[in-house]
Structure formats: C-alpha cells, structure tokens
Amino acid sequence: MSPTVFRERGYRFFFFSREENRLHVHVVSGDGEAKFWLEPEIELAKNYHYTRKQLKEIESLIEVHYNELISAWQQHFSS
C-alpha cells in the first residue's frame, strides 16, 4: 500500500507501507523518482533522473507541506 499525501506541480508525494521506520517521503512524476528523509532534517536519500532544479523544487514543496507530511506519516503508521 502506498498512500498519496498530496499532488502538486505534477509530482505525487507518498509513503510505502512496511518500509523503514525513519520518516521519509517518496516523490514520483513522469520525469523521475526520488526519496527524501524528513528527519532529522529534509535531505535527499535517493534520486532517479531528476535534475538539480527539479530536486530544489521538490524540496521546497516538502518544506511547504512538512507539517502535513509528518501528520500523514503519524496517522498512517500508528495503525
């Protein structure tokens, strides 16, 4: 199961169930895929085909939606 937290600017931000415990989010679009750690700070974990410009855009979207992502993670993984 991989619940979508939000979609914006062509990117889908989601979690994979039953993955690792460290807070992170996956991002996918027609251009590529990436994984970002959310704690202890926002940091790129993996990148497949995104440019530096796209990664900066994605990171800024994560910053804007940070509280929403943390809340969604807690709700999803507490059950």
Instruction: For residue 1, name the pLDDT band (cuts at 50, 70, 90).
Output: low
pTM above 0.85, yes or no: yes
pLDDT at 77: 84
- CA–CA dist 50, 67 (Å, integer): 24
Q: Measuring CA to CA, how many Å separate 24 from each of 32, 39?
A: 17, 7
Each residue's pLDDT tens digit, 6-22: 999 999 999 987 778 89
Cis peptide before 3 (omega within 30 of 0): no
- What are the residue ranges spanned by the domains of the chain? 4-78
